A and B are shown apart, each in its own frame.
Chain A
Amino acid sequence: MKNIKITSVDKICEKNGISFFHVESNKFKTVLIDIFLADPLDKKRAVQNALIPHILKRGCSRYPTQQELALRLEELYGASINGGVSKFGEYQIVHLNAGFVSDQYTVNKANLFEEVGDILFEILTEPVIKDGMFNEDYFQQERENLIQRIRSRVNNKMYYSLERCMEEMCSDEPFAVYRDGDEEGAKALTNQELMFRYEQLLSRSPIYVYISGNVSDEQIQKFIDKFDALKRESIISLPPIKVKKEVQEIRHIEEPMDVSQGQLCLGFRTQIEAGDPMYYPLVIYNGIFGGGVHSKLFQNVREKESLAYSTFSTIEKFKGLLVACSGIDISQREKAEKTITDQLRAIENGDISDYELEATKKSLETGLKSMQDSQGAMVSFYFSQNLSGQNDSATNYIDKLNAVTKDDVVGVAKKITQDTVYFLTSLSGEGERREEK
């Protein structure tokens, strides 16, 4: 194997609270443009922010319907424009993105970056507006789609349970807000309120723009200059996220649903912020506990006890949460819960094998190096690093993880406190099969 190549992300400039980055690499056949707009997570605003990218995607002044837009994108070698929202701790991120082939793969060396870049910018800044409001049909249709999307969270039982567990843990904190907001909020939302929110988002949110791929400096500069047209006012600052919270007693939540498999999620507070030096031992802790096939959860809950097919743990970096999830037979709940907490105690007691520690480090290192082979993965990583203020390069991050010792991990284990047990169970509380109609 040849030498490892790490692509750097270069910050080109920052003006009016808009930061521009270039992830430069010639090995890909594509170019990506990602635009992120950040807002503090807030119940009322969440549902508004969640609706905005979906209305924007419906069209812009040059291509006022999604059909016209789709026709144009097909001509541009099937370029895609996507958008949505995501949740990073107690920040909500509105995201618009364009992906298309590099010019060298087009027949007459078209200038796709300029063509698609223009469209993406127009989608962001020139929505279809009538009488100072969004096109009413688009507003109504997308609000209905949003309501359906919020309701459809139950469809994926594993993610639903994981997110519900974290929401229950933070029920009196902003974190409890779902990334798409809530159904009642969506129903009550008016077109006028949404226009106001959209204007605020454009004028006051911190904005991050990532350009990935083989694009010349001149092309990039031309794209950056377009943003001068945005009317920017005083930019809001994202408040720090409260991570430290004492747990008074463990809460038990049971949610019945018509399912044949139970989902058991154990939620923990780590008390460790993303910027804390202990964050790196926490990442290793999570790897040993439930981050992969070498982990204690996989080896014990799955391989040894045959209790689950899917069993893992995950960290919510921004909020300092740790959750262990397993899809289990409903009758095995107690045994599963005990097996999971036994693993936790084991780490706390320093019962960590060299294999567990080394395999964790290597798997994280492989992941970070492999990330360099995907433009999308690099953008996600660097954006998240930027938002959390860590600003580690991939190499830096690997070094910090490799420096973690067993004692560091035990130190983390002693800080971790159990907060909530969430169980998605069947309606009868027993495993059952449904009949086809």
Chain B
Amino acid sequence: MKVLEFSRIQEKVYEYEHSSGLKAFVIPKEGYNKVYSTFATYYGSINNCFIAPGEKSETKVPDGIAHFLEHKLFEQEDGSVMDKFSKIGAQSNAYTSSTQTVYLFSCTDKFDENFKLLLKFVQNPYLTDENVEKEKGIIAQEIRMYEDNADWRVFFNLLNALYVNHPVKIDIAGTVDSISKITKDALHKCYNTFYHPSNMIIVVVGDVEPQTIFSMVEEGIKATNYPGEIRNIFPDEPAHHNKKLVEQNLAVAMPQFHMGIKDNSTVSGFDLIKRSIALEILLSMLMGRSSVLYNELYNDGLINQGFSCDVSLEESFGYTVWGGQSKEPKEVAKRITEQIQIMHKNGVDKKSFERIKKAHEGRFIRSLNSPENISHEFIPLFFKGAYFFEYAKVYEELTVEDAQKIFTDHFSLEPSLSIIWPMKT
């Protein structure tokens, strides 16, 4: 067992490695009633083509299969796992992103029982032809729900504008058509490839004893040997964007827009969080609440309070994205693109950089109240080789010169634009 301390933010991480290669973490939260536990695999919607350990040929699977598998794991031979959690007062759930699948529960009582159940069900898939077929109807409604969701559509349309080939552009749940092709065998193949303990981690956040948790992990995880490397195959992605503009009409009151730039860097570990924080600060400097541009756009009635920015950096893809609602999204896009050019000319201002860095550090500290948030941030970062709490170190070390370099590199591409227009009446 190893302990990492982050004194600036008064957080600790206890880490333990199981003989199978699985890593487990405990993040203590003194005085908290709730314990939030997650069991995650580094497997998401983008892993649709791979060479399984010990094999020579590629396996190609239908889009949406990682998410489908997430749904199916909740069904066990003796009934629904969710029911078992509810019976002992826990709330269970799961989510699938482009790069990971996470199973979780939160409880205020009977932790041991719940935790054993989490370990057990994730390690024991129960798939039959019938239960696979039945799930297709439920997931089809989930897909339909997202089709009507303008926030979701405007974002995925942007990913389509950014990426020519990379599977991140494909909806996480797939399409009604692609999921119809999912079979029991394909699900087993994905499970056996990506749910080996060496590709998974466990994170527990709450007022718990780390040693107790690790003993349960020791007992509850099947001791199997490392099967070898999973080779994920991603198509070649050109450096340029796929499209400048993607437009769609939906039943919304006001146009919605997203803009973004793809990040062609290949960083991981500490460098990845450094780049990610630098990009977040740069976005705030360009178009955050205190920027000249935001205030001009706001005062001209071109954006509203809903306008926001985000950064996502993964090992095989990355992007910055920003957007909201606007009467004239194309005018907003033009002005933002101009502002990026102005920053290219004037450079990154040190004083604003330091002030905004301090604000971002404060928001990071504020986010540490929430066990859910800590887990949600911790898991993907660990898969990418970094610890979430190292953010604190980045805020100490990151200089305006670092930010300048990252700005020049990332913002060399012109942003693409995705617009959802209201239906024509």
Contact = CB atoms under 8 A, between A and B. Distances in A.
B207 interface: yes
Interface stretch (A123-131, A166-174, A354-362): A354-362
B87 A70 contact: no
A9 interface: no
Interface in A102-149: 105, 137, 141, 144-145, 148-149
Q: Say what secondary structure dominates the interface of chain B.
A: mixed
A436 B299 contact: no
B363 interface: yes
Given A101-B362, A294-B86, A369 B31 contact: no
Interface in A293-336: 293-294, 302-303, 306-310, 327-329
Given A99-B366, A148-B254, A141 B299 contact: yes
Contacts of A157: 148-149, 251
B285 to A, nearest CB: 11
Interface string B139-170: 11110110111110000010000000000000
Nearest to B81: A293
Contacts of A374: 369-370
Given A77-B359, A101-B362, A437 B248 contact: yes
A199 interface: no
Interface string B291-324: 1101100110100110000000000000000000
Nearest to A77: B362
Contacts of A370: 33-34, 106, 108
Contact of B138 (A2, A293, A309): A309
A27 interface: yes
B301 A141 contact: yes
A100 B33 CA distance: 23
A67 interface: yes
A164 to B, nearest CB: 14
Interface residues of B, number: 81
B112 to A, nearest CB: 9
A300 to B, nearest CB: 13
A100 B358 CA distance: 12
Contact of B253 (A1, A65, A152, A358): A152
Nearest to A298: B82
Interface centre among A257, A293, A358, A433 (most CB of B within 10 A): A293
B83 A28 contact: no
Contacts of B145: 158, 261, 309-310, 327
Contact of A105 (B150, B157, B365): B365
Contact of B295 (A65, A77, A79, A366): A65
B302 to A, nearest CB: 11
Contact of B148 (A29, A261, A307): A261
Contact of A293 (B30, B83, B208): B83
Interface string A14-28: 000000000001111
A346 interface: no
A363 interface: yes
Contact of A148 (B107, B137, B304): B304
A267 interface: no
A301 to B, nearest CB: 10
Interface stretch (B51-59, B88-96, B185-193): B88-96
Interface string B393-421: 00000000000000000000000000000
Interface in B331-345: none
A70 B298 CA distance: 13
Nearest to A141: B301
Contacts of B360: 78
Interface in A245-302: 257-261, 292-294, 302
A5 interface: yes
Interface residues of A, number: 78
Contacts of A29: 9-10, 365-366, 368-369
A4 B108 contact: yes
A258 B250 CA distance: 7
Contacts of B246: 436
A185 B352 CA distance: 41
A180 B187 CA distance: 47
Interface in A16-58: 25-30, 54
A157 B153 CA distance: 14
Nearest to B420: A155
Interface in B344-376: 355-356, 358-363, 365-366, 368-371
B363 A78 contact: yes
A152 B254 CA distance: 7
A30 B366 contact: yes
Contacts of B226: none
B253 A148 contact: yes
B128 interface: no
Nearest to B150: A155
Contacts of B180: none
A366 B150 contact: no
A259 B89 CA distance: 37
A437 B249 contact: yes
B5 interface: no
B247 A359 contact: no
Nearest to A369: B108
A408 interface: no
Task: Rank and list the top 7 A-B pairs by shortest CB-CB distance, nearest first.
Answer: A77-B362, A362-B89, A306-B137, A78-B359, A151-B253, A78-B362, A27-B31
Interface of A: 1-2, 4-5, 25-30, 54, 65-67, 70-71, 73-79, 99-101, 105, 137, 141, 144-145, 148-149, 151-158, 257-261, 292-294, 302-303, 306-310, 327-329, 355, 358-359, 362-363, 365-367, 369-370, 372-375, 431, 433-434, 436-437
Given A1-B208, A65-B295, A148-B254, 16 more contacts: A1-B110, A5-B31, A27-B31, A28-B369, A67-B289, A67-B290, A75-B358, A77-B359, A78-B363, A78-B366, A257-B251, A366-B106, A366-B107, A373-B371, A434-B248, A437-B248
